[in-house]
Amino acid sequence: MIRPLFLAISVCILAAFAKTTSAQSVEDDRPLVVSTASIFADMAKVIGGNVIRVESIVPLGGDPHTFEPTPEAAKLVTTADLILRNGLTFEGWLNELIRYSGTTAPVTLITKGIEPLGSVTYEGSEDPHAWMNAANGLVYAKNIYRALSLTFPEYSDQFEFNYRLYRSDIEQLDAWIRDTVSIIPESQRVLITSHDAFQYFGAAYGLRLEAILGTSTDADAQTSDVARVIKLIVESKVPSVFIETTVNPKLIRQIADDTGARIGGSLFSDSLGDEDSPASTYLDMLRFNTRTIVTALSGTSSQLSADDGFEKEEGSIPLLVGTLLAVFALGFIIMFRYGQK
Ligand SMILES: [Zn+2]
C-alpha cells in the first residue's frame, strides 16, 4: 500500500516541477507583452498574471534615456503581441526599433490620461517620470489592464480580477506615502537628486525638487546647474542629497563633499532592482524610495521600519519548496525502510 502512495505523490510533484520548468525555459507559447522599462513590465506581470509572458526591452538596472537598441531588443519587438510604451520623450529609440522590426503588434501609450509635468530645470521639456506618483500608477494600471483585455479578450476576467486587487494596493500605498512624507519637517522637504526624475513625486506628496541634470540623463551637467544646487543646499541647510541607481553618482558625491551634505541613500527612478533588492516591484520601489527619503530628511528610521505596515510578505515560494522537499525526504525514508521487505 505504501509504495503506490509514494509513487503517486512523487509523480504529482515531478509533474508540477516539469510544468514550471517547461513554461519558463523550453517552449513558452503564452502571448508576449513587451514593455520599454522594467517598471511597466512589473505592472503588466501583476495584471496579466501567468497567462501572459512579459519582457522589458531595457534590462534591469539599465537607463532607458540612454539605451541603445540591441539585437535582443529587436527580437523582442518583432515577436511581441503587445507593446507598452511610456511616451513623454522617455524612450525616443522605440519608434525606430518598431519601424525596422516590421512588427504589427498594437502599441499602447500607458500614460494616456495623465497630465504631464514640464521639467522645472529645462523649459519646454516634458517630464516622463509620471509613475513616481502612485495616483498616476493607477492610470498606468488602468491603461495596461485595458490594453491586455482588448488584445487578449479570452483572459479578460482574470485581468479584471488582478487589476482590481492591484488598484486597491496602489491606493493604499498612495495614502501611506502621503502620511509618511508628512513626517518630514516642512523646512526640510527638499529633495536633491542627480537627474530630474522626482517632480511627480514632489508635486503629489509635497516636496520641493532640485536636480543637477534635466529630465533625461543624456546631457552633461553645466557648471551653472552645479552652482544652483550648491547654493540651495547651503541656503536651505539641506541635510541630505540622493544618488540614483541608474545614474553615475560622481557629481552628486562631489556636491555632498563640497557642501557637507550627507548622501541620503540610493533611489530607484528609471529601473527596478533585481529580485533580491528592496525595489524588485513597482510598489516596493515607491515604498523603498519613500522610506529612504523620509529617513534621510527627517531622521525617523525606527518609526518608519516599525510602523509603516508595509513589511515585505514572507515568500510563499520558499515555503512551497521546503514542503515539497520534506515530502520527498519522507517518501525516500518510507521507501528505504519498507522497500527492503
Ligand atoms: Zn529618468
In 86-189, beta strands by DSSP E:
107-109
Give me ligand 1 centre to Cα 215, in Å.
6
Burial category of 227 from C-beta neighbours within 10 Å (exposed 0-12, middle 13-18, buried 19 and up): exposed
- Does residue 321 belong to any structural domain of this protein? no
Question: Among 148, 178, 208, where does a domain finish?
Answer: 178
pLDDT exceeds cutoff 80 at 327: no
State whether 228 and 298 are in the same domain: yes
Give me ligand 1 centre to Cα 247, in Å.
9
State whether 173 and 199 are in the same domain: no
Q: Which amino acid is at 265?
A: G
Give me ligand 1 centre to Cα 262, in Å.
22
pLDDT exceeds cutoff 50 at 311: no
State whether 89 and 221 are in the same domain: no
Give me ligand 1 centre to Cα 239, in Å.
23
3-class DSSP string for 294-334: HHHHHCCHHHHHHHCCCCCCCCHHHHHHHHHHHHHHHHHHH
State whether 193 and 159 are in the same domain: no
Structural domain containing residue 148: 28-178
Residue range 60-72, pLDDT digits in tens? 999 999 999 999 9
- Does residue 241 belong to any structural domain of this protein? yes
- Does residue 125 belong to any structural domain of this protein? yes
Give me ligand 1 centre to Cα 109, in Å.
17
pLDDT exceeds cutoff 60 at 8: no
CA distance 329 to 335: 10
pLDDT exceeds cutoff 90 at 175: yes
DSSP assignments along 3-21, one per residue: HHHHHHHHHHHHHHHHHHH
Give me ligand 1 centre to Cα 59, in Å.
15
Give me ligand 1 centre to Cα 238, in Å.
23
Domain count, the chain: 2
Residue range 73-100, pLDDT digits in tens? 999 999 999 999 999 989 999 999 999 9
Residue range 257-266, pLDDT digits in tens? 999 999 999 9
pLDDT on residue 305: 53
Give me ligand 1 centre to Cα 341, in Å.
68
Q: Would you tell me the crossing angle of helices 38-48 and 156-181 to the nearest 10 degrees?
A: 130
The C-alpha cell that represents 180 in the structure block: 509618511
Give me ligand 1 centre to Cα 197, in Å.
5
Give me ligand 1 centre to Cα 300, in Å.
28
Q: Is 87 left (phi over 0), alpha (psi -120 to 50) or beta?
A: left
State whether 126 and 234 are in the same domain: no
pLDDT on residue 304: 65
Give me ligand 1 centre to Cα 95, in Å.
18
State whether 297 and 215 are in the same domain: yes
State whether 103 and 211 are in the same domain: no
Give me ligand 1 centre to Cα 151, in Å.
29
pLDDT exceeds cutoff 60 at 306: no
pLDDT on residue 20: 42
Question: Among 128, 154, 178, where does a domain finish?
Answer: 178
Give me ligand 1 centre to Cα 211, in Å.
11
Give me ligand 1 centre to Cα 129, in Å.
6
Residue range 41-63, pLDDT digits in tens? 999 999 999 999 999 999 999 99
On average, the pLDDT of the chain sits at 85
- Locus of grid cell 531595457: 58
Question: Among 134, 151, 178, where does a domain finish?
Answer: 178
Reported pTM = 0.80
Give me ligand 1 centre to Cα 157, in Å.
34
| CATH code for the domain in which residue 278 is found | 3.40.50.1980
- Does residue 122 sit in helix, strand or coil? coil
- Does residue 10 belong to any structural domain of this protein? no
Report the relative pairing of strands 82-85 and 53-56 from DSSP bridges: unpaired
DSSP 8-state class, residue 116? P
Residue with the bigger pLDDT between 296 and 224: it is: 296
Question: In this structure, what is the dihedral angle of CA atoms 268, 73, 167, 312, given to the nearest 10 degrees?
Answer: -50
- Does residue 99 belong to any structural domain of this protein? yes
- Does residue 180 sit in helix, strand or coil? helix
Give me ligand 1 centre to Cα 123, in Å.
16
State whether 160 and 205 are in the same domain: no
Q: Which residue stretches of the chain are H helix?
A: 2-21, 38-48, 71-79, 94-101, 134-151, 156-181, 199-205, 223-236, 250-259, 282-298, 301-307, 316-339
State whether 35 and 160 are in the same domain: yes
**Which one, of 114, 128, 154, 141, lies nearest residue 44 by Cα?**
141
State whether 263 and 237 are in the same domain: yes
- Does residue 325 belong to any structural domain of this protein? no
Give me ligand 1 centre to Cα 246, in Å.
8
pLDDT exceeds cutoff 70 at 167: yes
Give me ligand 1 centre to Cα 191, in Å.
15
**Residues 2-6, mean pLDDT to the nearest whole number:** 42
- Locus of grid cell 519522507: 330
State whether 54 and 84 are in the same domain: yes
**What percentage of the chain has pLDDT greater than the value 70?**
79
Give me ligand 1 centre to Cα 120, in Å.
14
State whether 43 and 165 are in the same domain: yes
Give me ligand 1 centre to Cα 128, in Å.
7
Give me ligand 1 centre to Cα 329, in Å.
50
Residue range 112-159, pLDDT digits in tens? 999 999 876 667 778 999 999 999 999 999 999 999 999 999 999 999
Give me ligand 1 centre to Cα 98, in Å.
22
Report the relative pairing of strands 262-267 and 240-244 from DSSP bridges: parallel
- Does residue 329 belong to any structural domain of this protein? no
pLDDT on residue 217: 77
Give me ligand 1 centre to Cα 270, in Å.
5
- Does residue 2 belong to any structural domain of this protein? no
